[in-house]
Amino acid sequence: MNVLVFGRTGQVASELARIAPEARFVGREEADLAQPAACARLIAESGAKIVINAAAYTAVDRAESEEDIATLINGAAPSAMAAAARRIGAAFVHISTDYVFDGSGKTPWPADAPVGPISAYGRSKLAGEDGVRAAGGAYAILRTSWVFSAHGSNFLKTMLRLAGTHETLRVVADQVGGPTPASDLARAVLEIGRQLVAHPELSGTYHFSAAPDVSWADFARKIFAQAGCPTTVTDIATADYPTPARRPMNSRLDCSRTETVFGLQRPDWKYGITKILKEMDAMR
């Protein structure tokens, strides 16, 4: 099946390249998301049956001072992509984020829960969601959280790097979510795209994150335990680690709709750590 992926070197795109090497992957030099019309033209000429947007502006803190460009890339570009995919009859899968919620409460967010982003990045991603829905056609918006892998920049790699020079690390303990291996997310994205081709009536908004939900601090502890690092973790509050952008305190996602509709269960992030550590060892 003809698959077009926006993104080439990111975490999810790298994993998609493993499981779908026959797909066409386009990077910034070929399709700059800051030029939505160019992205739409590429789709129009592609003949794709599935279009996956695995590219985004992800600099959460910098977005506070660059909201216009973040919204262009995360909002206008996927909106144009979705409309172009609809015109050629392709299924469109767009990766979104828990940042569209305000992070209140302690219960998992259902896919149809009211949104209320508290950061420029969250607002930019919500603009993309709204545009994809408005475009119509066969589409899936797949929200996820805390993606990690052996590639790119992510929490696991940061913790392991810091463990090399620190005996103790202070890590936020009052933000809770589901760390999600990029490999599992990539498989989910591809499977949803395939099902949408056959059943466009399944279009909608879905959640996919790994289980169980955990704090950043406890996630770090598990990373160090599985990596055999002696580094210890000291719990701190979000208020003790100020950043330009506010982060959701509650990033728990209710993924039951995704399981019911597409048959995709939440993976175990602890197993994901094991696989990624082995991959990183092999890369040394």
Rg (CA), the chain: 18
Q: Note the pLDDT of residue 284.
A: 79
Catalytic residue among 121, 139, 206, 241: 121
Q: Note the pLDDT of residue 280.
A: 95
Q: Note the pLDDT of residue 283.
A: 87
99 as an active site residue: the answer is no
Q: What is the pLDDT along the chain (284 residues), one digit of tens a residue?
A: 799 999 999 999 999 999 999 999 999 889 899 999 999 999 999 999 999 999 999 999 999 999 999 999 999 999 999 999 999 999 999 999 999 999 999 999 999 999 999 999 999 999 999 999 999 999 999 999 999 999 999 999 999 999 999 999 999 999 999 999 999 999 999 999 999 999 999 999 999 999 999 999 999 999 999 999 999 999 999 999 999 999 999 999 999 999 999 999 999 999 999 999 999 999 87
Per DSSP, the chain holds a count of helices (H) and strands (E) of: 10, 13
Collapse the DSSP code of 69 into the 3-class scheme (helix H, G, I; strand E, B; otherwise coil) and give the result.
Answer: helix
Q: Note the pLDDT of residue 5.
A: 98
CB 168 within 8 A of CB 231: yes
CA distance 215 to 235: 10
Q: Note the pLDDT of residue 250.
A: 98
- 56-83 burial, b at 16+ Cβ within 10 Å, e below that, comes to bbbebebbbebbebbbbbbbbbbbbbbb
**Taking Cα atoms as reference points, which of 206, 94, 91 lies closest to residue 137?**
91
CA distance 116 to 114: 7
